Amino acid sequence: MLKQSLKSLLVASGLVVAMAPVANAQSLTVDVPRLTLEVNNKIAMETIKACEAKGIPVSVTVVDRNGIIMVQMRDSMAPPVSLPISQKKAYTAVMFNANGSQLVSQAAGALPTLGEGLAFMAGSVTISAGGRLFGAVGVSGAPGGDIDEECAVAGVEAVQMDLEMM
């Protein structure tokens, strides 16, 4: 009986010791919160609606935190060139974690305004909540980048409260 109890105790002790490194090991993966397709679509549609209300046809690109396109839309009457410009604006905003209007002054020097996938111009805003960067939205087609950016802000504001509640 004593042998059986001792054997059980040794097995239990061995299991505890064997599991100790697993319990103390750090996770080998990273959880990255991402916006759903529905949220990205809502941002894009609300952005287009905001510019439509001003009588301005635009193109919109929503990118994730890595600058990868999640949603891209072009109003039927928006100029075709506005689509790649909206993508560059969104990509630049998320890569520098700043709205396009904040980046304009940084491009006044040696940096090109357009090129290498970047667009240092107004018309994009980041999508952030709770201290986390989710992505950015870029807009092109309005007579000025300030109007593009107003529409982008409206698109993000349509989901901002929901993002803050996550």
Kindly report, residue by residue over 143-163, the tens digit of the pLDDT: 999 999 999 999 999 999 999
Inside any domain, residue 64: yes
| C-alpha torsion angle, residues 159, 93, 61, 88 (rounded to 10) | 180
d(CA 12, CA 19): 11
Inside any domain, residue 27: no
Inside any domain, residue 120: yes
CATH number of the CATH domain containing 142: 3.30.450.150
Inside any domain, residue 73: yes
CA distances from 69 to 7, 41, 61 (A): 60, 12, 7
Inside any domain, residue 122: yes
d(CA 97, CA 49): 25
Would you tell me how many other CB atoms lie within 10 Å of the CB of residue 127?
28
Inside any domain, residue 11: no
Structure tokens at 28: 């080998």
Inside any domain, residue 93: yes
Query: How confident is the model over 55-82, as a mean pLDDT?
Result: 98
Structure tokens at 100: 């396009």
Beta carbons of 102 and 89 less than 8 angstroms apart: no
Question: Is residue 57 predicted with pLDDT exceeding 90?
Answer: yes
d(CA 164, CA 41): 18
How many domains does the chain contain in total?
Answer: 1
Q: Which element (helix H / strand E) includes 64?
A: strand 59-64
Inside any domain, residue 85: yes
Where do we find the tokens 């309005």? 142
pLDDT tens-digit series, residues 105-118: 876 665 555 567 89
Q: Mean pLDDT score of the chain, rounded to an integer?
A: 87
Q: What is the reported pTM?
A: 0.81
Domain containing 130 equals 37-164
Q: What is the pLDDT of residue 16?
A: 54
Q: What is the pLDDT of residue 111?
A: 57
